[in-house]
Amino acid sequence: MPSLLTWFFPENGDSEATLPLLSEERAKAAVVRRALSADGASEESAHYAAERGSAKASDSDGDGEVGVGASIDPAKGKQRRILGCTELVAMLFFCNGGPFGVEESVQLAGPLLAVCGAVLMPLLWALPVGLMTSELTSRYPYMGSQVVAVEKTLGPFTSFIFALFSGAANQINMASIPPLLLSYLEPLWATQPPSLRMALRVALPGVLLLIMLVANYRGVRLVGRCSEILVCVSLTTVGAFTTVAIRHLLSHGHVLEAFEWLHPTTSVRLPTLTWSTFVSLLVWNSSGFDQAASCGGEVHRPSRSFPRAMTVALLLSTCSMVIPLAASVGYFWQVRLLQGHSPWLDLHQWQPGFYSQLAHEMGGAPFAQLIGITGASLAFGQLIVLGCAYSREFAAICSTSTVLPSWIGALHPQYGTPYRVIAASTLLTAVLCCINDFSKLVNAAMYFDALALTVFLTAFLVLRLRGPTDNDDDTAPLRRSTTLSTEISQPPDNNPGSGREPLYHVPGGLMATVPLCAACILPSLAMIVLADKWCHIAALTCFIALSVFYICRSERQEADMKG
C-alpha cells in the first residue's frame, strides 16, 4: 500500500500534471509572431513554430511536469469532460445553498421579509449570475473558467486579486458549514454526557473534512455522484417535512390566523432589523453559481449543459427553500397562537437547525432525527462541492499568474485533481472552524464574495461592450502544454463533423446585459457598504498586501529575465 505522502508528492514527477501558464505561453507566442513577422514568414509557419514552442515548453518544463491533458486523457491529448448534465445539476444545487440554513432570516427580519427574500433573491441574484456564468463558461471552457475570463478582459493583476478574494470567500464559506452541520446533529446526542458531546463536536468535523479530502482527491466524477445521492435524499426528506407541516396546518384549523404575518403592517412588531446579516444570509443561500465555472474544463458540452443545469438547479433550490420555509412559519404561527403565546416573542427560537425542533413538535424524536441527519447531509454536500470548486479556482490562478509557483496547482497524474490545493484548503478549513460562529462567518464570506463578484460581473460587461478581440481568440496558443493548446483550438467533446459547438449567449444581447449586471452589482455594493468595519479593514489589508506581493514578484521576474 502506498504511503500517505505519495498522495501529495507522487514518486513519478515526470507524469505529474500542472495547469499551464496562460501568460507565459502568450509571451512565448508573441515573441514567435514578432520574429516571424520580421522575417516575412507565412501564417502556416507561424502556427507551426508556435506549436513547436509550446511542445518544447511541455516536454522540458523546469519542474519536469507536463500539461494537464497528458495526465488526464493521454489517448485524446486533452482534458476529459466527464460531468454530465445530471451531475452538474446536483453540484449546482449545493453551490446555490438549498433549504437548510435560512431559518435565522426569520429571526433577523421577520417571517414576511424572510419569505419574500427567499423568493426574490434567487430571481434577482442567482438567475443573472447563472446566465452570465453560463456564457463565460461557454466561451472559456477550462478549469477555473472565471479566472481565465477575468484575466483575458481585465488583465493579470485584476485576475490575481479576483481569484484570491474569491478564494477567501470560498474558504470562509467552507468553514461556516461545519457549525451549521453540528446545529442539526446536536439534538441527536442532547441526552449524552457533556464530555461525549464535546468529543463529538470536535471529532465529527474532522472526520467529515477527511471524507471531503478523499472525495475531492479522487476526482470530480465522485463528487458529482455523491451530490446526486445527497440531492435525492435531501429533496425527499424536505418534501416529507413540508407535507407534514401542511397537514398539521389543515388539521388544526385557524389557517388564516396562521398566515397573519403575511400582512405588511405586522412587520412593525419586529424589535430590530439586522440588514447586513439578513442580506448576507439570503445571498449566501442564493449564491454560488459563479463558482461552478471552476469545473468548466470537466463538463461535457458546456455550452448546452451549463444553461440547462443552472435552470433546473435554480428551480429546485428555490422551491426547496421557499415552500418549506413558508409552511414551517405557518405551522409555527398556528401552534403558538393555539398555545396562547405571541409568535413575535418566540422569533428568537429561529436559529440554524430550528427545522429539527419543529420536526420534533410535528412527528416526535424520530422525525426530528431524520430532519437533522438530512440537514447535516445537505451541509456536507455543500462542503464537498465548495471544496471541489475552490481547489480548481486556486489551481487556475497558480497557472495563469506568474507570481505564484505553478507546482502548488499541480494536478495528480491519475485523478487529474489539484491535490495540494485540496490538502491545504482542508487544513485551513479545520483551523477556521474554530471560530464556530455561523453568522459571522457568513458575513465575512459574503463580503469577500461581493468584492469578487463585482469584478466578475465587470469582466462580463467589458467583454460584452468590447466584443471579441485577438486576445480572446481561442485558436491562439494560450497554454504551456501541446495537449491543451490542441484542446483550445478544437471543439472539446462536441460533434466531430460540425465544428465548434455554438457559444451560449445571454438572451437579449447588450440591452439585457447592462440591467443584469446592474441587478447583481448593486446588491454586491450594498453588502459591501453595510458590512462591519472589521470586514473593510481586513479587505483593505489583504488588497495592500497582495498588491505589494504582486509588484515585488513581477519586478523580480523582470530583473531575472534581463539578467
DSSP state of 42: -
Instruction: Let me know if residue 321 belongs to a domain.
Output: yes
Nearest to residue 32, comparing CAs of 402, 477, 470, 400?
A: 477
Low-confidence ranges of the chain (pLDDT < 50): 1-79, 268, 470, 473-499
What residues contact 464, with CB distance under 8 A and at least 6 apart?
A: 510, 513
Q: Which bin fits 364, alpha (ψ -120 to 50), beta or left (φ > 0)?
A: left
Find how far residue 273's CA is from the centre of its chain: 29
* 66 bridge partner residues: 17
What is the structure's pLDDT at 68?
35
Express each pLDDT in 324-383 by its tens digit.
999 999 899 888 888 877 787 788 888 888 898 899 888 888 898 899 899 888 889 989
For residues 522 and 551, membership in a common domain is answered with no
Using alpha carbons only, give the angle 298, 312, 304 rounded to the nearest 5 degrees: 45
CATH code at 144? 1.20.1740.10
How far is the C-alpha of 33 from the C-alpha of 382, rounded, in Å? 46
Are 5 and 58 a contacting pair, CB within 8 Å?
A: no
Q: By C-alpha distance, which of 295, 288, 141, 313 is closest to 220?
A: 295
Summarize pLDDT for 519-556 with one digit per residue, the tens: 777 778 877 887 888 888 989 999 999 999 999 988 88
Selection from 130, 516, 136, 166 nearest residue 316 by Cα: 130
Per the structure, the complete domain to which residue 74 belongs is given by 12-28+62-531
Alpha carbon of 313 to those of 123, 130, 137, 309: distances in Å?
A: 13, 10, 17, 6
Q: What's residue 521's pLDDT?
A: 79
Give me the pLDDT at residue 563, please. 66
Cell 500517505 sits on residue: 4
Beta bridge partners of 18: 67, 410
Radius of gyration of the chain measured on its C-alpha atoms: 25
Is there a domain that residue 300 lies in?
yes
Q: 543 with 483, same domain?
A: no
Tell me if 368 is assigned to some domain.
Answer: yes
- Residue 479's nearest CA partner among 531, 406, 422 is 406
With respect to residue 432, please indicate whether it lies within any of the assigned structural domains.
Answer: yes
For helices 127-139 and 438-466, angle between their N-to-C axes, nearest 10 degrees: 50
Does residue 441 form part of some domain? Answer: yes
Q: Are residues 370 and 462 in the same domain?
A: yes
Q: What is the pLDDT of residue 160?
A: 92
Residues 6 or more apart whose CB falls under 8 angstroms from that of 243 comprise none
197 and 320 belong to one structural domain: yes
Same domain, 462 and 547: no
Distance CA 267, CA 418 (A): 49
Whether 7 maps to a domain, the answer reads: no
Residue 324 placed within a domain: yes
Residue 183 covered by a domain: yes
The pTM for the full model equals: 0.78
What sign does the dihedral 327-102-284-390 (CA atoms) show? Answer: negative
Looking at residue 363, its pLDDT comes to 86
Q: Please tell me what DSSP assigns to residue 126.
A: I
132: phi then psi, degrees, rounded to nearest 5: -70, -35
Helix (H, G, I), strand (E, B) or coil at 20: coil
Q: Which three cell numbers stand for residue 171?
A: 474558504
* pLDDT at position 231: 92
3 state SS of 341 = coil
For residues 353 and 376, give the distance between their C-alpha atoms in angstroms, rounded to a whole number.
9
